Chain A
Amino acid sequence: MEMICGRLEQIINEEVLEIRGDGRAGSGIVLTMQSIVAMAVEDPTLYVQEWPFFSSARKGAPTRGFLRLSRRPIEKSSEITRPHIAIMMDEGVTTAIDFAEGVPRGSIFILNTTLSPEEAASKFRLSGRIYTIDGDRLAQHFLKKPLGNISVFALLMELIPVFDPRRSRTRLEKILKKRRLPELLVKANGDLFEASLNQARFADCDYARPTDHLASPFGGYGELMPGAQSRLRLSRSNLTSAYARTGFVLQFGDSQNLCNGCGHCIINCPENIIQFHPDPEIGVRVTGADVTNYCKLCHECIAICPKNLFSEVRTAECWKVGPV
């Protein structure tokens, strides 16, 4: 731990420490980063900047947080692509993005997971100092819901040597009060912070192959089709199904041939995934939707269908993957 702290202190003094965190909207990655800013502004010799990256999607969609910290003025404002510390706040996000992309070998990884550092490093093929903390379990105890951000913040306070973890609780509570959280919840978060200290496990692991987590070079947008939007919209890197509510899936059922061919679902679907074929009687007959990659459960089809043929069901009730 001391060696890592020394290294981080040197980076902060002589260069710029860069931290990147991945989570889902609502998983608290932004609060974690903002809490670090709140700590940093108290020290006039520290410069700090923090900002989130998110789309116009709703809760549950992947979000990213960036933070720079230094004793020198920070002019740089571009996204952080080779962070010294990479945070994975929510395991669910790992299916949509690679939280370790571009992270240099030997860097620090902080994972909110039940896994041990070795298990996590092996699963995600990581090389460097791996810290894991079961923040969800701790938060379940104190806040009655799984939320890893306070535990990850506590770990960061232990790791980044320019902060005093003893003062962090007071500062954290001040931030939460500013957000108008009820007094009881502020205290519970403070207790959670204390309980999270010294709870992380760590190991130095080397599981990444040379080809793993390489920052993929930007390949342009390819040859655009006439009316070019569709290919861009369906680009492989923008799998909008990641925005959908976890555990639910869209279902289409028309065993009684009720579809009247109105086509409203086809027109209103923002992802263009409604499947249909020409029908001599009603014009078009809708047969389902390809929910594999792009259905974000926006409910447009459910709301618009006059025959109520679309519905949202629990994934467990609809095991079939692919066209429904």
Chain B
Amino acid sequence: MNSDSSICETAAGALYSNIINLDKVKAAHKPLAQEQLTCEADGNTAAAYACLQMWRCILFAGFPITPSTKWLETVATMVASGKCGTKKVKLLEAEHAVADYLAGAAAACRDLICATATSSVGLDHMTECTRSLGASGLGNVLLINVFRATANYPLCIEGDPSDTLAHRDDGWIQICCRGVQQIYDTILQAPCLGMHPEILTPVMPGYYGIKDSHRSSRLVVEPDAKVHAFQDRWIGPAKLPGLINGDTAMGNCVTSKFFQGFKIDQKRRMERTFELLPQIGADFEKTFGRSGLQFVERLYWPEDDVVDLAIVGMGPDIGTAASLIEKEESRRGLKIGVLGARLLTPFPRDEYSKRLKNAKAVLIVNQAHHYGAGHLTLDVTEACYTLKRRPTIVSCFAGMGGATLSDETWQKMMDHACATIGKEVKRIPPVIVHEGEVLWQS
């Protein structure tokens, strides 16, 4: 470690100092951008640039899986070209090995960010380790998840958040992004959250496969020095020792009594996200002039939170909904608002209660298959449960497997939700909508 304060004595009395000298790591960083740059990039490239710009991020591990492969290719190419200083890319034999490698590396030095990107069954393959990482307190692990349905039969490479939603209980902070700029910005902020001494929880920012991972657009790349100054405000030298300094962060065997303690500890740390995320987001906005981390993105939403119909969804498709609202409001004579989910875990229920308190109906669009009402629906419904005047919850499934959400599909879902406004409805069964048609109703 770089300073005397982080040198730690093990129980056996052994001292391991200066194994990793953070000052040297920082000095060896070669900036990707000396000044603000504008370039074209797709989601994977934007995510790769963000990782390469962080001086703490010197260890990358990966195993290629569509649609996240280009992240690994970009990182590997840049590192091999020598443009990024002394960073290291490790291609391993499978995702399980990647997760193990990251766990080991992250535990060895808690001050370094250990990053990978994966998708779908790749994330599933990491499961054994992701749950352990959730409990470990290794907030310096950064896993970029490119959403793709978790199955190899039928194999479908387009964006479907079933992978990330299947891993909601692994103990990671999960954040959804849309658009290249938001992907880049989110990844720069993610370690500030995960490595915050009060949170120490691994982070899993994610974006939709193909729909965003392969969508090219304008990307503003911030100068490395500015990125470092921002991150250094939030990431201090870890107070906890790493393995090198004699701590066993992983691999404990415990009795049930202690197991519960681990879980309570996990929850405590995770819940600190609610207070710190808006602070990090506000600092980001102040520094870079773009929106920082938020609980939800208010795409089309009034300041006073007064809407008749609220639409809640996530990912790039929620943008299509927002683009339609002006016309839909005048056509239907209703006030309609659109919210895009950003923080998925821990679920910011208070934020949703606050935003949805005046809504008459809430249309929740789920893009991952679920045998109940839908992952997002369950969370939003729970957030609305304590409201004095509960809105009608209308749950739809659309865009599963990354299917396109056309204007007609959004209009059909809005028809479905608007039909409940002003009526006494006990329960609306969820429906699957595609190309303006209801394909299935429970």
Mark A residues whose CB is within 8 Å of B.
33-34, 37-38, 40-42, 44, 47-53, 55-56, 75-79, 81, 217-218, 220-221, 229, 233
Contact = CB atoms under 8 A, between A and B. Distances in A.
Most buried by A among B42, B178, B217: B217
Contacts of B407: 78
Most buried by A among B210, B404, B434, B436: B404
B217 A49 contact: yes
Nearest to B178: A77
Most buried by A among B40, B178, B218: B40
Contacts of B178: 77
B323 A76 contact: yes
Contacts of A47: 217-218
Given A38-B40, A56-B155, A218 B218 contact: no
B316 interface: yes
A81 B323 contact: no
Interface string B203-246: 00000001100111111000000000000000000000000000
Contacts of A41: 38-40, 217-219
Interface of B: 38-40, 42, 66, 154-157, 178, 210-211, 214-219, 299, 316-317, 319-320, 322-323, 404-407, 434-437, 439
Contacts of B155: 56
A220 B439 contact: yes
Contacts of B210: 51-53
B216 to A, nearest CB: 5
A56 B157 contact: yes
B216 A75 contact: no
Contacts, number: 77
6 contacts: A33-B216, A34-B216, A44-B38, A75-B320, A76-B319, A218-B435
Contacts of B317: 77-78
A22 to B, nearest CB: 16
A40 B215 CA distance: 14
Contact of B214 (A38, A44, A51, A233): A51
A76 B210 CA distance: 15
Contacts of B42: 51
Contact of B40 (A37, A44, A79, A217): A37
A217 B435 contact: yes
Given A56-B66, A56-B155, A75-B299, A48 B218 contact: yes
A292 B99 CA distance: 45
Contacts of A48: 216-218
A48 to B, nearest CB: 6
A220 B214 contact: no
Contacts of B214: 51-52
A267 to B, nearest CB: 15
Nearest to B317: A77
Given A41-B40, A218-B435, A78 B216 contact: no
A53 B316 CA distance: 15
Nearest to A72: B323
A233 B154 CA distance: 9
